[in-house]
Structure 1
Amino acid sequence: MRIPLVAAALSLSFGLPLHADTQTVILDPLVVTATRTPEPEDRTLASVSVIDREEIERRQFRSVPDALRGLPGVTISGSGGAGQPASLFLRGTNAGHVLVLIDGVKVGSATLGTAPLQDLPIAQIERIEVVRGPRSSLYGSEAIGGVIQIFTRRGGGALRPRFSVGAGSFDTASVAGGISGGGERGWFDVGANMEQTDGINACDGRAFPFAGCGVDQPDRDGYRNLGVSARAGYEFSDRAKVDFSLLTSDNRTDFDGSIFAGNLSRSEQQVFGVEGTLRPLDPWTLTLSAGRSQDTYRAFYSDAFVPERFVDSFETERDSFGIQNDLALIPEQLFTLGLDYQVDRISGTVDYTDDSRSNTGVYGQYLGSIGANELAASLRYDDYQQFGGQTTGNVAWGYLFDQGIRVSLSYGTAFKAPTFNDLYYPGFGNPDLSPEESASLELGLTGALPLGRWELSLYETDIDDLIAFDSVTYAPANIASARIRGFEASGLLSIREWDFGASLTLLDPENRSNGPNQGNLLPRRPEQMVQLDLDRRFERWSAGLSLYVAGRTFDDLANSERLDGYTLLGLRAEYAFTPAVRIQGRLENALDEDYQTAYLFNQPGRAFYLTLRYEP
């Protein structure tokens, strides 16, 4: 049954006893992002992928975009090498149509409308949950394509230090360390990292005619990242606990630019959150949360003849507060009622007409099961300061057969609020813009294997009132639309010392806007993507490979700039000197493929990295 499993998950995560009629033991991994309540990964009606710390270290991921590439429905478009801007398209929607959370706190730039995934230090990350499909009915704006939630390391248990040091191609060096522990009721983790690389030449731009980055600067564009995380919590009793989290990232990135836009950036991301959980009565769980995120970007210009000169700065400051009530009043039924409040403030060198806005969201959710039928429904109303109210909803039904195969059908609506740039950028913004809106329909099929599991999804998303530049008014307007159809298949299989994973994404991202581009493919979305992973464990050794294949794309709406398809082969190996000391090696792009995911922006060739880890 669905709700005994959810109720058990809530109780296990809170350390509380269950009702006599819901004593179910949870052994499967729990996910919280799909429904804002913990539930087993293989029982949620949403399409979910999870990357945990074990997989991050086993596959030796070097960045968050690196970890997300190859997941079903995920496309990564990078503007150069390490530290350069990376756009993520989830199920073919725009880069601004995915909501990013860190420990429950919404992050990103309110001017650009995206989160700097390339700058988030993966050394400080414990877990990443990716929910595909509309989730505005629980989270509000941006969750058209889905939600990505990143959890920092939590700690707990005996005192455990950790340390790693690495080096590799492009004069790359990295070091990371931390310590975690806790007692009977408390837990903590503190960590820090540094990575530096000379990088590659990010862009082969053309000044005449303008293309790519618009300049020709054939130099190496370096990157430096400093990250710090801290997390601590305490369980005062069986009915009250509190959790604090902090993540900061300080970055320096060289890029190919001009004296007007700069060619060097310094950016910082800071996320702080606190969450308190109470259980006043056995069937009632109350969660209070508050958070602040800051995103700062400063651009400079320098070259051999010009000393470093300040160009521009942009800063987003976001405060949020939430209250959530989970009510298990009836066996096999869970009701959730919640409220979110958010205030965005921007500052910098650009003088916007309006530099702050607020939003209040009220939502409700029902999760239940009747026999073999599983049900989920949610509804949310958002009241934005600029354009008033927005209502979104989601409903899902699933049927679990005796053989462990489940079929599901879901329908959801979502929206994306215009950014400050869309609304108020001097000489460009349009304060009369409406939110972008979407409607999605999905059919899913999942099943368990004796030694693994598989999942199939077929979906269609229609997006209206997309914001695009209007050549008549010379301002952004709600004039574009798109229809995206897709198919996803994924599976995991473990046989003795062998682990095998595979995913397939087929995408038809059609531009449905009126005009000469109608019927064309949306830019930078491959129609076919395949990921294959194979790992083998020995007594002290382990080795693996990953194969990623992407079809051709176009870089523009007119579909005149074609980007060829490409194949990436990655090899990895690890040797354990002791249970606490390991050495790892990773060969990226082993075939030395020459490819681009954005027109005229280069990608690294063959590269090798070596890492020594200590963690008892």
Structure 2
Amino acid sequence: MVLTPLVCALAIQIALAPPESPPEPGPEPAYRTEVVVGQERGDGLAAQRALSRRNVGFVTAIDLELEPGRPPADDLARVVSRAPGVTVRSIGGLGQFSAITVRGSTSQQVPVFLDGAPLTGSLSGLVDLSTQPLDALARVELYRGYVPIRYGSAAIGGAMDLVGAVHRGPPKLWVAGGFGSYLAREARLGFAAAVSKRVSIAARLGYAGSRGDFLYFDDGGTPLLDDDDGMLRRDNNGYDRLFGQLRVDARRGRLRVAHQDIAWWKLQGIPGTAAAPSGDASQRNVAARSITTIRRGLSNRAGVPGHVEWIGSLAVEDRVFRDRGGQVGLAADDEHALSVDGWLSPRLRVPLWSMAWLELVGELRGEWIDVDERVGDDGPSPALASGDATRSRLSAAAGAELEQWLFERRWSIAAGLRVDLADSRFAVPEGEGEVDDRGVDQLTLGFSPRVGTKIMLIEGLDLRASAGRYLRFPNLSELFGDRGYVVGNEGLRPESGTKLDGGLILDLDQIGGRELALFAQVVGFVTWSEDLIQWVRSGPVVRPVNVVGARVRGLESGLSLRAFGRDLSVDAAYTLLDSRNDSPELEQQGKPLPGRPQHSVVLRPGGGHRFSVGRRGLGLEPRMFYELEWIAGTFLDLSGRVELPPRLLHGLGLSLRIADRVELTVEGRNLSAQTSALIRPASGPSTPYRAAISDFIGFPLPGLSVWGSVRVELGGA
């Protein structure tokens, strides 16, 4: 956006500058922010190993270039769901809203970043992963337990960084398209080229959409009576989305400059819950974001590397939520909201003494939102309408993190402290549009210390543990909602949490001298929260409330196996959660927290092989992959009375890659076409009843669906 001409001018200067002597080589830095397409490939675990070895906590890296079957561009949440401790929340259907939770956290407790810049904005602290197309990314990095201070203070569950790709080599052009059930469709176009040895550019355009009119089980609002049960078609569940990205990367010696402009438009229906469907409510979003990174490598006299870095972002979003009939909310609504978000972070990482680094992080952020409620323009405004308002928040943060390696890199310890200060301007002067204003202006200070360590017990086996304190301010969506499906709570207090974890990581390049690679982990964790912000469904709407105290403990395990290169792969994860509400209210005390499944299993085996056929050695690589997902023990309410049925879903896919240029994929999901399950109540009447298979907040999920796609690449190596 406004920085694009300046960055382009800097890139041109770098490209035209005379050649210089290359810097002297030094040890691999503790972490990198640049991912070059084509590196870290091998058996598909190289990215996972590299990230794990650079960090003291439990991390997951997913190399998107090696994902089997080239998933749809809007399917990021499903790709991430295979990581240990992760569960996905969505409202059902391809391209509809989706977010993730980690270790029983809320989705707001997992901040999402793009190349180190936060994607959370003024309009909402919740990132819709369906708006972050896979085409623009090279890798996903997920941090659990110990989270580096550069990812903020709100990472009570963890943090996710979406890492973009840097193009090197010959020009490349690719086109892709897909079509599936419920009129799901997409078309994508991309181009990347190296302008010179120092500068590369990449551009991407994409469209995706779906009608989303799947069949779902409906009990007629009477769970114990089956005479009115039947199948209904999901209405108003479609969407259309456009996406565009322009990226410029430049380098000269130790200097790295990266800049990207991203814009997207999305129009989607708001279908409501199964019990209270909506026929015409909709939401339209238009957003633009600009991210710039300038980084220069440093080193001490011994050649130990460090760096100084500046990352900045500017985002503008316009949202229109319309529910004139009051079908999904408590009142008619026609709300227009415009937000602006500016963020800047200087960072310095310097070597201190032998195998020790100090990282300093600063942040400055300004958020502004203007709400224009238009329901009352032609008459009196409904009592529940939010009214017009302008609100802002200015925040600043500073942090320091020390990392030390001891005993010839067999023991590592990292300790950090982050201080956050937020100046919130939420009060609305009387008579300026807010019907029932309870927002206040306040200054909030918070501290979030953390420490993590890992010890190499034997080659390939690590013992790791961490402890930390985290703080999250309520976002504007939680405070004020939209008076539609989301009803705000202006009296929310900041939530804080203390978490501990510990476990083992097994990382083997080969097993018994054979071509087998294994990465496995088992972790125990516990989180105590004060003033936990919990979304609770009440009839057709959800509303956040503060839970005085809560505890979530559990066990997560993950396994990734690769055999014979990438010919055989197995990814599996299991998470066990035990959540408890420590509220003093007798009805809620000791009950499980809503939306947190007790059991979650994901299993994804796959296999394939690359062949050469014919005299010209035409490359063919067929591949098959299977997916199983089992989730059970999820409650909808704070009193633990409404339990969702368990779900066991199967998927199967086939792909064929031809000459490393063309890839064909066909995939089936929920092959058993499961739309309902039998529930046997743990309390109350013992009569079993049938309920719809649904997501964690009660939205029905589709039955059998099929997806097919083709991708063609031109140019490149």
> Does the TM-score normalized on the shorter chain lie above 0.5?
yes
The yes-or-no answer on 1:370 pairing with 2:393 is: no
Contact 1:136–1:415 under 8 Å retained in 2: no
Alignment partner, residue 553 of structure 1: 634
Relative to structure 2, which stretch is displaced further, 278-287 or 328-337?
A: 278-287
- The structure 2 residue matched to 1:9, chosen from 14, 17, 29, is 29
Q: CA deviation at 1:262?
A: 5.8
Find out whether 1:503 has 2:584 as its counterpart: no
Which letter maps to 1:66?
Answer: R
8 Å CA contact 2:216–2:701 kept in 1: the answer is no
SS at match of 2:211: strand
Amino acid at match of 1:243: A
Structure having the higher Rg = 2
Structure 1 residues 153 and 248, CA gap change in structure 2 (3 angstroms) = farther
Task: Please list, as runs of the form range in 1=range in 2, the aligned pairs for 1:287-326 lying within 5 A after superposition.
Answer: 287-301=309-323, 311-326=334-349
CA shift at 1:267, angstroms?
1.1
**Does 2:56 correspond to 1:45?**
yes
Per the TM alignment, residue 402 of structure 1 is displaced from its structure 2 partner at its CA by: 2.8
How far the C-alpha of 1:59 sits from its partner, in A, is: 5.7
Q: CA offset at residue 189 of structure 1?
A: 1.3
Which residues in structure 2 correspond to 1:105-144 (within 5 Å)?
105-133=117-145, 135=147, 137-144=149-156
1:279 and 1:286 in contact (8 A); partners too: yes
Q: Deviations over 1:83-105 (max 9, x none)?
A: 33334221111121110112222
Structure 2: where are the runs of 5+ without partners?
Answer: 1-24, 36-43, 223-231, 326-331, 374-386, 424-441, 511-516, 537-542, 612-619, 676-692
Q: 1: distance between equivalents of 2:662 and 2:90?
A: 34
2:597 to 526, 546, 569: 526
Letter in 2 for 1:409: A
* CA distance in structure 1 between the partners assigned to 2:548 and 2:218 by the alignment: 28
Preserved CA contact (<8 Å) 2:651 2:669: yes
Q: TM-score, normalised by structure 1?
A: 0.86
Give secondary structure in 1 for the equivalent of 2:245. strand
| 1:177-576 correspondence to structure 2 within 5 Å | 177-182=189-194, 183-200=196-213, 219-235=235-251, 237-256=252-271, 263-279=281-297, 282=300, 284-301=306-323, 311-350=334-373, 351=387, 355-371=391-407, 372-385=410-423, 386-423=442-479, 433-449=492-508, 450=510, 451-467=517-533, 478-496=546-564, 497-515=567-585, 516-538=587-609, 539=611, 540=620, 541-576=622-657
How far apart, in 2, do the equivalents of 1:432 and 1:507 lie? 29
The C-alpha deviation readout for 1:297-324, integer Å capped at 9, x for no partner, is: 2123589xxxxx9811233321000100
CA contact (8 A) 2:110 2:155 kept: yes
Describe the shift of the 1:354–1:168 C-alpha distance in structure 2 as closer, same or farther (beyond 3 A).
closer
* C-alpha displacement of 1:410: 0.8
Cα pair 2:153 2:418 within 8 Å, conserved: no
Q: Is the 8 A contact 1:84 1:255 kept in 2?
A: no
- Deviation at 1:494? 1.4
RMSD (Å), alpha carbons: 3.2
Shift of 1:425: 6.8
Letter in 2 for 1:448: D
Q: Which runs of 4+ in 1 moved over 6 A?
A: 11-15, 202-209, 258-261, 425-432
Number of residue pairs the alignment of both structures matches: 579
Q: Is the 8 A contact 1:92 1:145 kept in 2?
A: yes
* Counterpart position of 2:384: none
From 90, 94, 98, the equivalent of 2:106 is: 94
TM-score when normalising by structure 2? 0.74
> Is residue 2:160 matched to residue 1:148?
yes
> In 1, distance between residues paired with 2:656 and 2:666?
9
8 Å CA contact 1:105–1:271 kept in 2: the answer is no
Pair 468,281 (structure 1): closer, same or farther in 2 beyond 3 Å:
closer
The 10-residue stretch of structure 1 (427-436 or 87-96) with the greater mean CA deviation from structure 2? 427-436
Between Structure 1 and Structure 2, the one with more strand by share is 1
Question: Which residue of structure 2 lines up, in the alignment, with residue 593 of structure 1?
Answer: 674
1:23 corresponds to? none
* Secondary structure, counterpart of 1:330 in structure 2: coil
Shift of 1:354: 5.6
**Does the aligned pair in 1 maintain the 2:324–2:333 contact within 8 Å?**
no
3-state SS in 2 of match to 1:41: helix
Please give the per-residue CA displacement for 1:1-49, whole angstroms capped at 9, x wherever unaligned. xxxx99513698789xxxxxxxxxxx98568xxxxxx964344211111
Which residues in structure 2 correspond to 1:597-612 (within 5 Å)? Answer: 597-598=695-696, 600-612=698-710
Return 341-350 or 127-136, whichever deviates more: 127-136
Question: Equivalent pairs: percent with the same residue?
Answer: 21
